[in-house]
Amino acid sequence: MPANQIPVKSASARANASAARLNPVWYHWACATLLAAVFLGNILRWAFLDWSDPYHCGAMLNKGQWLDPGKWTTWQPEGCYHQPLKAAAYLDCLAAPAHSRSPSPRADVPTKRQALFVGDSSVRQLFFAFVRLVDGSKGAVPKGWESDAEKHTDRKVSFYVGAGTLDERSLELEFWWDPYLNQTKTESMLNRGTTTPSSLLVLGSGLWYLRNPESGGLASWGNMIHKTFDSLKRQQGSPRTALLSPWDSLELGSGVTVPGLLPSDVSDADRAAAVAEQVERRVERRRPGETIADNVVFLPVVDAITERLSPSRAETILHTDIEAMNADLFARLMHPNPPPVVVPAVFNDLLLATETEDGLHFSDRITDKQAELLLGWRCNDAVRKQSAQGSCCRRYDWTRPVQALLLCLLVVWAPLGALLGPRLAPSSPALAFLPSPSISAALSTFGLAMGYLFFADRSTVFLKENKDWDPIVFGGLTVAALVLGLVTTQNSGKDQGFLSRDITDEWKGWMQIAILIYHFFGASKISGIYNPIRVLVAAYLFMTGYGHFFYYYKKAEFGFDRIASVLVRLNLLSVVLPYTMNTDYVFYYFAPLVSWWYIIIYTTMAIGNQFNDRPAFLIAKLLACASLVTLFMHHTWLMSNIFDFLNAVFRIQWSAKEWSFRVTLDLFIVWGGMFSAYAFIKFKEHQVAERPWFPTARLVAIGTSVLAMIWYFWFELRLNKFTYNGYHAGVSIVPILAFVVLRNASPVLRLCSSRVFCFIGQCSLETFILQFHGWLASDTKSILLVFPATRWRAVNLVVSTICFIWLSHRVAGATGEITEWLVGKKKAKALPLPATAQLPSTTQGVVRDVVVGAEDGALGGVPESIPLMNQDKKDTGTLSPAPVENRRNSWPAWMAATAASLSGRAAAEGYASTDRRWKDQTVLSVLSNLGSLAQKYNSVKLALILVGLWVLNWVY
């Protein structure tokens, strides 16, 4: 289309926009502004509010709420993600030192460790809970062992790590009955440090002082607390501020002074003098290297449920006295010379009146959750390789040098080039180090998105919280998404054809929304939901088989540019993210899975492609290839050897067992898509729709499809997810073919499509991958909070979804443009400027290109599933090499020969050989020659990229 010719529709839109003074792309600017505000707001919150407790160790033990009232199974610490560890991780943690930088035991650590519990019945219940969690399902402790001995006696349980090996270690969980904390062995332990300290010391007392007034009551309890804390200060040291993290130095505490926690009438000079005096006293009284425990925990006095207390207990155990005791404990933590203990105030927040019979002792559900939180605080960082990224009280791993360099390159280099490039003179040597103006905007969008994902999921800038399965909210969101799709349905005015671009985009869109909702609520544990979601993943693969078969059968184009375009478009995100997020390529399993099947489809169709028009040959070839792939995937010895070779040469660590599981789940659906495409091609060739019996056959197909859908849901609802996985590869074709028939059953249905679903479908690949870090967090295990409070979860869902969908759409557009830049340029058509657009300055133009992008947005590049079918919305054009600027006119003989071999011609154009000898070449000239050759030949460009990735794998 000529540049000066404007379509009628565009002219009308421009006229309406001009009259309304509204930018036609206002939604891009609104979403970009919202995303920028979210990012800036979280940066400010992190810098000014969370600086004292960035890993939320203090919040984990002091603030939270139940997410599932009535069930009481999921406790949410404020602002962080909490997931219980496995029993083996708890054992490794308590058997190793708290302050070791490595989670693995060291040679100088004693082979026997102890976790000691001293106090009354509330401490004893916590001790029992610790034993249950550390034992897990190993059965080392028999069921009902808690009641095997007298209540008021000491208890001990031993566990062993690596029994019978050179690394054998043992852990003793021991409880001392001492409700007043005044027995001789307790006082001796508190006043005598040791070179083999306990890994954890838990103390608790209070209720017995209230229950027995003759003990001295509150006054005696206060004297005991003062004496106990003084002993701990002498042996452990006195931190400068209240301890928050298990790795805090016992000499200095957290190293920060939290505003509002210290008395305002204590001056900095007085505080410093008190700390200096205490340090001096500690040095005099404690021998170096001798402490009591790695961490000391003093439990708050149990907040008794008054209405459940017996009359005799209710007379002496008063709620006001308990409040006074706990207030005294927390006041001592705010003293300028605080004790080296943590007091988990959240223990009383966990208590429920429905979970106690006597008002003092609570069910295992409550005490197990208390132990789980305390063990998480103590162990999440100590065994960080066994805990999830983003967990409460777990420090993020150090950013690797290559990872940091790549992030800086992506976040800084492209935007800097986009801003500075137009301002530099054409002859400036700096232009050689900046991206081309034609691609700088797309690279900037892509790079800034990678930076946002890193801050969101690899730092404490954004908060993370647990997923919460709520069937009512899950169903409500699903219905709301369906209604939104229906109300945005539009009539295209003509029959789009069978499985048209609009229909497949809509199909991918609503499936992606369903998958997103499924992941947000962590619904994988519900078999009745998991099973249909597996069908949605299979449907993507069905479209992959259908679309690529259709293309290669019709076009018979098996050139390098096509396969390179598809693979680069599919894998750009999943190749870059492992380096920037320190994950693995297979972790983003969908792109590798589709790529795997695309290569199989390409190979199958390319073998003997000149005979593809012969039905007998083609069908036999498809069946033979399907059989070979099935054998290869079920007998993994060859795959294991291949993966071992990749690990040895390229440092690629893939699991053959995991990959076989991923592929075999949907082993036959791609072939079903290919056969369906072939059936439709023959359907059109033989004009079956014109036969007189076709209307009857269509009605039969519709009825059969309805029955097939009913049968599938009846079948899958009867099976748990593990049993269903064994049937899925064979039965998934049933609901998919049924849906295809029903969705394309009549021209009326093919006329309509949902704009919202189509929009999501156009960036479904990006939404699937970016959800790992940009909508969910902790590598999909938790949810990302853009509003820093659990009570704002509903608002958070709306805002984070808007930001996430817009970011996915922009990354999809940028990925398409980068693919075209890497592989080839489309023959583009000129597009009119928006009605309200002014001729911008350089900076405004760059910002506009980054925020708004290309006119066709995510439609740029090569579609990932249904390629070049019914794409009347865009000019598909042809892929051609990008123009080469400032190419040299003479080349060394070896370069000319290389170019000739790659191009298939006797002499590559523009690469005339010279007499310059190899020894006269310089490194810069060789690199320059390779760079120029890469500009002309996509194979050279992509080969250089693969070599670069190989090097990155070795230096990462």
Report the distance separating Cα 445 and Cα 441, nearest Å: 6
Strands 112-119 and 200-204: parallel
Report the distance separating Cα 404 and Cα 892, nearest Å: 38
Q: Which of 411, 491, 390, 473 is nearest to 783 (CA)?
A: 390
Query: Where do we find the tokens 């003084």?
Result: 230
Q: Which of 237, 196, 199 is nearest to 108 (CA)?
A: 196
Report the distance separating Cα 553 and Cα 681, nearest Å: 9
Residue 65 host element (H or E): strand 64-66
Q: Report whether 745 contacts 768 (CB < 8 A).
A: no
One-character DSSP codes across 746-780: SHHHHHEEEHHHHHHHHTHHHHHHHHHHHTEETTT
Lookup: tokens for 456: 């969101």
Which residues 6+ apart lie within 8 Å of 508 measured at CB? 540, 543, 760, 761, 764, 865
Q: Report whether 30 contacts 363 (CB < 8 A).
A: no
- Residue 113 main-chain phi, psi, to 5 deg: -120, 165
Using DSSP, state whether 391 is helix, strand or coil.
strand
Question: Which amino acid, residue 676?
Answer: S
Report the distance separating Cα 33 and Cα 55, nearest Å: 28
Query: Where do we find the tokens 């060394």?
Result: 892
Lookup: tokens for 452: 């946002």
The yes-or-no answer on residue 310 being catalytic is no
Lookup: tokens for 390: 């983003």
Q: Which of 511, 548, 536 is nearest to 736 (CA)?
A: 536
Strands 890-891 and 782-785: unpaired
Lookup: tokens for 60: 């984990």
Q: Report whether 414 contacts 731 (CB < 8 A).
A: no
Which bin fits 637, alpha (ψ -120 to 50), beta or left (φ > 0)? alpha
The one catalytic residue among 10, 52, 121, 925: 121
Question: Which amino acid, residue 647?
Answer: N
Lookup: tokens for 893: 């003989």
One-character DSSP codes across 890-942: EE-HHHHHHHHHHHTSSS-TT-EE----GGG--HHHHHHHHHHHHHH-HHHHH
Q: Report whether 587 contacts 578 (CB < 8 A).
A: yes
The one catalytic residue among 52, 215, 303, 361: 361
Residue 175 host element (H or E): strand 169-177
The one catalytic residue among 167, 268, 270, 358: 358
Helix, strand, coil percentages, rounded to 5, for the chain: 60, 5, 35
Q: For residues 666-676, b (16+ Cβ closer than 10 Å) or e, as one string?
A: bbbbbbbbbbb
CA atoms within 13 A on the CB side of 171: 26
Q: Report the Cα 791 to chain-centroid distance in Å.
A: 22
CB count in 10 Å sphere of residue 823: 26
The yes-or-no answer on residue 676 being catalytic is no
The yes-or-no answer on residue 634 being catalytic is no
Q: Report whether 329 contacts 300 (CB < 8 A).
A: yes
Strand order through the sheet with 463-466: 463-466, 782-785, 776-777
CB count in 10 Å sphere of residue 790: 20
Q: Report whether 822 contacts 566 (CB < 8 A).
A: no
Q: Which of 814, 934, 928 is nearest to 881 (CA)?
A: 934
Catalytic residues: 121, 358, 361
